[in-house]
Chain A
Amino acid sequence: MSEGLKEKVLDKYSARVYKNRKPHLVTVGEETEITANTRTIPGIITQRGCCYAGCKGVVLGPIKDAAIIVHGPIGCSYYAWGTRRHKAESDIRDNEEADCYLEYCFSTDMQEADIVFGGEKKLKQAAQEIVDIFKPKIVMICSTCPVGLIGDDINAVAKWIESDLGTKAISFSCEGYKGVSQSAGHHIANNQLIRYVIGTGDKEPKTKYSVNVLGEYNIGGDGWEVEKLLKRCGVEVVSVFTGGGSYRDLKNSHLANLNLVQCHRSINYVADMMKDKYGIDWIKVNFVGIESTAKALRDVGEYFGDEQLKKRIEEVIADEMSAIADDVSYYNSKLKGKTAALYVGGSRAHHYQVLLKDFGIETVLAGYEFAHRDDYEGREVIPSIKTDADSKNIESLEVEADPKHYRVFLTDEQKAELDNKGVKLNYYEGMFKGMNDGSIICDDLNHFETEEFLRVLKPDIFFSGIKDKFVAQKSGMLSRQLHSYDYSGPYAGFKGAVNFGHDLVMGLYTPAWSYIRAPWKSIPSIEGTLGGAE
Chain B
Amino acid sequence: MKTKVKPLVSLNVNPCKMCMPMGAVTAMYGIKKSMSILHGSQGCSTYIRRHMATHYNEPVDIASTSLTEHGTVYGGEENLLKGLKNLIELYNPEVIGVSTTCLSETIGEDIARMIEKFYELNPEYAYIRIIPIHSPGYGGTQFDGYFRGLYQIVSHLARECEKNNKINVVTGMQSPSDIRFLKKEFARFGLEAIFLSDLSDNLDGGYSEKYSRLPSGGTSVSEIEQMGGAACTVEFVGMDLEYSPGQYLADRFGVPLKKLMLPVGLRDTDEFYRGLSELSGMKIPEEVELERGRYLDAMIDSHKYSGDGRAVIYGDPDFVLSTVRLCVENGVMPVVAATGSTCKMLKPLLEKEIKPLGDMIFEENYCIVDDIDFKTMEELAVSGNANLMIGNSDGRRIEENMSIPLVRRGFPIHDRVGGQRLRMLGFAGSLMYLDEITNAVLACKERGFRKELYNEYYKDTPIDQGIREEVLDTAAIKKREIEEKTKTHPCYNCGAHEYARIHLPVAPHCNVQCNYCVRKFDCPNESRPGVTTKVMTPEEAFDRYISVKEKVPNLSVVGIAGPGDALANFGDTKRTLELIREYDPKVTFCLSTNGLMLPKYADELIKLGVSHVTVTINAVDPRISAKIYKFIDYMGIRFTGENAGAILLSNQLNGIRLLASQGIICKVNIVTLKGINDTHIPEVVSKMKSLGCYVTNIMPMIPVKGSAFENLVPASNKEVNAIRDICGETMLQMYHCRQCRADAVGRLDNDISLEVNEKQQGEPAEQSRDQEQSARFAVASKSGTLVDQHFGQIQEVYIYESKNDEVRFVERRKIDQYCTGAENCDHKEGKIDSIISMIEDCKGVIAMRIGEEPRNKLTEKGIFVYPTYDRIEDAVKKATSMI
Contacts and interface: CB of A to CB of B under 8 A. Distances in A.
A39 B66 contact: yes
A121 to B, nearest CB: 8
Interface stretch (B37-45, B277-285, B775-783): B37-45
A177 B11 contact: no
A40 B107 contact: no
A471 B211 contact: yes
Given A80-B47, A145-B101, A467-B46, A125 B66 contact: no
Contacts of B86: 14, 17, 41-44
A83 B22 CA distance: 16
B15 A107 contact: yes
A176 B63 contact: no
Interface in B111-150: 136-139, 141
B489 interface: no
Given A73-B102, A76-B137, A451-B211, A149 B8 contact: no
Contact of B207 (A76, A145, A516): A516
A182 to B, nearest CB: 8
Contacts of B37: 43
A33 to B, nearest CB: 23
Interface in B393-437: 397
B13 A105 contact: yes
Contacts of B15: 74, 77-78, 81, 105, 107, 109
B875 interface: no
B103 A78 contact: no
Contacts of A129: 8-11
A3 B87 CA distance: 25
A47 B21 CA distance: 18
Nearest to A451: B211
A145 B106 contact: yes
Interface in A97-117: 103-112, 114-115
Nearest to A393: B69
Contacts of A474: 58-59, 205, 207-208, 211
A282 B257 CA distance: 69
Contacts of A476: 207, 209
A44 B12 CA distance: 34
A111 B91 CA distance: 35
A526 to B, nearest CB: 5
Contacts of A470: 53, 57-59
B17 interface: yes
Interface string A50-62: 1111000000000
Contacts of A465: 50
A156 interface: no
Contacts of A467: 46, 49-50, 53, 59-60
B12 A389 contact: no
B80 A42 contact: yes
A43 B46 contact: no
Interface string A22-52: 0000000000000000011111111111111
A434 B60 CA distance: 33
B107 A149 contact: yes
Interface in B23-69: 37, 40-51, 53-54, 57-69
A75 interface: yes
A390 interface: yes
Nearest to B340: A74
B66 A40 contact: yes
Interface string A172-192: 000111111100000000000
B406 to A, nearest CB: 15
Interface residues of A, number: 83
A44 B211 contact: no
A12 B69 contact: no
Nearest to A110: B138
Contact of B43 (A49, A81, A390, A448): A49
A177 B53 contact: no
A203 interface: no
Interface in A74-95: 74-81, 83
Interface residues of B, number: 75
B12 A125 contact: no
Nearest to B17: A74
Given A75-B137, A78-B17, A176-B44, A145 B102 contact: yes
A273 B89 CA distance: 45
B102 A43 contact: no
B85 A79 contact: no
A165 interface: no
Given A41-B86, A177-B69, A46 B213 contact: no
Given A78-B18, A451-B211, A475-B210, A177 B67 contact: yes
A475 B211 contact: yes
B139 A43 contact: no
Contacts of A469: 53
A105 B82 contact: no
A157 B498 CA distance: 58
A469 B54 CA distance: 11
B75 interface: no
A321 interface: no
B70 interface: yes
Interface string B199-214: 0000001011111010
A294 B722 CA distance: 63
A506 interface: no
A289 to B, nearest CB: 27
B566 to A, nearest CB: 39
B46 A107 contact: no
Contacts of A14: 85-86, 89
A76 B211 contact: no
A75 B18 contact: yes
Given A78-B18, A108-B10, A149-B103, A42 B83 contact: yes
Contacts of A49: 42-43, 46-47
A466 B54 contact: yes
A46 B64 contact: yes
A82 B324 CA distance: 29
A279 B368 CA distance: 59
Contacts of A83: 47, 50
A106 B106 contact: no
Contacts of A47: 46
Interface string A455-490: 000000000011111110011100000000000000
A106 B10 contact: no
B307 interface: no
Contact of A13 (B11, B82, B89, B107): B89
B47 A107 contact: no
A393 B209 CA distance: 45
Contacts of A177: 40-41, 67-69, 71-72, 103
B525 interface: no
B90 interface: yes
Nearest to B72: A177
The residue among A39, A109, A122 with the most chain B CB atoms within 10 A of its own CB is A109
B560 to A, nearest CB: 41
B83 A43 contact: yes
A43 B63 contact: yes
B695 to A, nearest CB: 26
B649 to A, nearest CB: 21
Contacts of A81: 14-15
Contacts of A387: none
Nearest to A44: B86
27 contacts: A14-B86, A17-B86, A40-B66, A41-B82, A42-B83, A43-B64, A43-B87, A44-B87, A48-B42, A69-B11, A74-B18, A74-B141, A79-B18, A83-B47, A105-B13, A107-B11, A115-B105, A115-B136, A122-B10, A126-B10, A129-B11, A144-B102, A177-B67, A390-B68, A390-B70, A474-B208, A475-B208
List the 7 closest pairs (A to B, CB-CB), nearest first: A50-B43, A75-B19, A43-B83, A42-B83, A43-B86, A470-B59, A79-B47
Interface of B: 8-15, 17-22, 37, 40-51, 53-54, 57-72, 79-80, 82-87, 89-91, 101-103, 105-107, 136-139, 141, 205, 207-211, 213, 397
